[in-house]
Chain A
């Protein structure tokens, strides 16, 4: 049976030797940030379970999704599954959308084991810590925030689950970053237009697939819960929140319920962000927490982000790639795979067969006009269909042997950009670059080249060697 929640996933990781337990008491700073930075530096980065943190009651887990091994196990695949195979497995699972959740009663919802409705003190429950040295405070960086469209409270598909950075600013007060293009900002705008608070539930220690989907750019009226069910191959279990009529995961560790205060903006940040640099202080929204429900001995799951690669890069890798792949594939069926793993799709590699001369550029331009590619993607590299876009040495081979810089490199100045990209100037504007590393086809002309072939029986021997290596372990 597949894992049902974070705890069961952690047991699976432990069985697969992908989890390390730290039993001695550690200091919140600088150790917890340092652990989060160190774990993904390892080739097969383990999750790290910190049992005891000085001054706190509860334990913490970091780097749950911080390696391709853990990522494969999350998808219920063997831990040595290649990235390209994981990409295609995810593509197959995507077809199963929607798998509707089931609602369980409170007695079957572990997250309701404990309820706190007065004297809220986040520090009592969460072992909070400074993630990077010059963050403006202690951040909750892996909480899925649930909210509803105030104009369509009964439309389950418009209920949103998204991971947004959350700064703790008081015992019961947190700040949240809702960028205008985030789904929660749509909910918030509608609430603020009528000066109403927006009820939210911040869910922590979730099924890893829910966190994965809450980090995925999907359409406004698509449900993260229905997608989580599809990827799990089983419905996710939900239960009603204490207030605000929200649907929250029944098996999560901790749920913080509160309201976004309408029409209030207070200083938040800086915060070390996914491009590997700090994003500065801004005036942002605040949430007053009024209720906490949690499992007994709750596990605080948090995320370290630093100069790539760290855990966040795995949460923004294949789930960023897949929607782009599917959008391209609709009009350009020759596209084989899309690797948008670099800094949330700021860098993208597309593998495609060319239908006609200049096709690679056409595919790249389509990518740059997709909803995600338009603001995010800056550097688009297009390679032939036989080049694995997840294999960077192969991509470098294509760049070094196929690109004619005077014809194949295109710049599009003053286009939309991603404000968190520190090279975006002014913030939100960017020059796009297309590098077409495909082999020219008619009517374009290139020098004749005869490619080397893969020897017969290579697949057989690859499989043989893989098995032999597995036995050794």
Chain B
């Protein structure tokens, strides 16, 4: 399934609603985005997801690391 935020074909069903079969939640393995099937198309549709918040999966390794990983100490 295509992730609406990073457009990777890496999204899968994470969980179904505990009751009422009301919705499903999906998780993108590439950018960790999660969304619910009942959210607006501005969230669930890759073509309509706001460009300002789109993520290029290739840029993820270059994001700042918080907090820094310390050196191993014996």
Contact = CB atoms under 8 A, between A and B. Distances in A.
Contact of A180 (B52, B53, B67): B67
B63 interface: yes
Contacts of A285: 67
Interface in B13-68: 14-15, 17-23, 25, 27, 31-36, 38-40, 42-43, 50, 52-53, 55, 60, 63-68
Nearest to A28: B36
Contact of A123 (B15, B20, B65): B15
Interface in A175-208: 175, 177-180, 185, 188-189, 192-195
A267 B32 contact: yes
B38 A29 contact: yes
A130 B52 CA distance: 18
Contacts of A278: 53
Interface string A117-141: 0000101100000100110111000
B19 to A, nearest CB: 6
B11 to A, nearest CB: 12
A285 B70 CA distance: 13
B73 A194 contact: yes
Contacts of B23: 28, 54-55
B19 A192 contact: no
Interface stretch (A40-48, A165-173, A374-382): A165-173
Given A137-B34, A138-B34, A179 B66 contact: yes
Contact of B72 (A177, A180, A195, A270): A195
A57 B20 CA distance: 10
* B interface secondary structure, majority: loop
B54 to A, nearest CB: 10
Contact of B43 (A121, A133, A167, A284): A133
A267 B72 contact: no
Interface string A252-294: 0000000000010111101000000010011111000000000
Contacts of B43: 29, 130, 133
Contact of A55 (B18, B40, B55): B18
Nearest to A181: B67
A153 interface: no
Given A30-B40, A170-B14, A193 B73 contact: yes
B64 to A, nearest CB: 5
A55 to B, nearest CB: 3
Given A55-B18, A136-B33, A263-B69, A283 B64 contact: yes
B66 A193 contact: no
A56 interface: yes
A134 B5 CA distance: 10
B66 A137 contact: no
A56 B17 contact: yes
A421 B24 CA distance: 35
A246 B63 CA distance: 33
A441 interface: no
Contact of B65 (A27, A28, A168, A283): A283
Nearest to B19: A57
A288 to B, nearest CB: 15
A283 B34 contact: no
Given A55-B23, A123-B18, A169-B32, A180 B68 contact: yes
A371 B52 CA distance: 35
A32 to B, nearest CB: 11
Interface of B: 5, 14-15, 17-23, 25, 27, 31-36, 38-40, 42-43, 50, 52-53, 55, 60, 63-73
The 6 closest A-B pairs by CB, nearest first: A55-B17, A55-B22, A137-B34, A193-B73, A180-B67, A134-B53
Interface of A: 27-30, 54-57, 121, 123-124, 130, 133-134, 136-138, 167-171, 175, 177-180, 185, 188-189, 192-195, 263, 265-268, 270, 278, 281-285
28 contacts: A54-B20, A54-B22, A55-B21, A55-B22, A57-B19, A121-B15, A123-B17, A123-B25, A124-B18, A130-B36, A130-B43, A134-B50, A134-B53, A136-B5, A136-B33, A137-B33, A137-B34, A138-B25, A168-B34, A179-B66, A189-B70, A194-B73, A265-B65, A265-B69, A267-B32, A282-B63, A283-B64, A283-B65
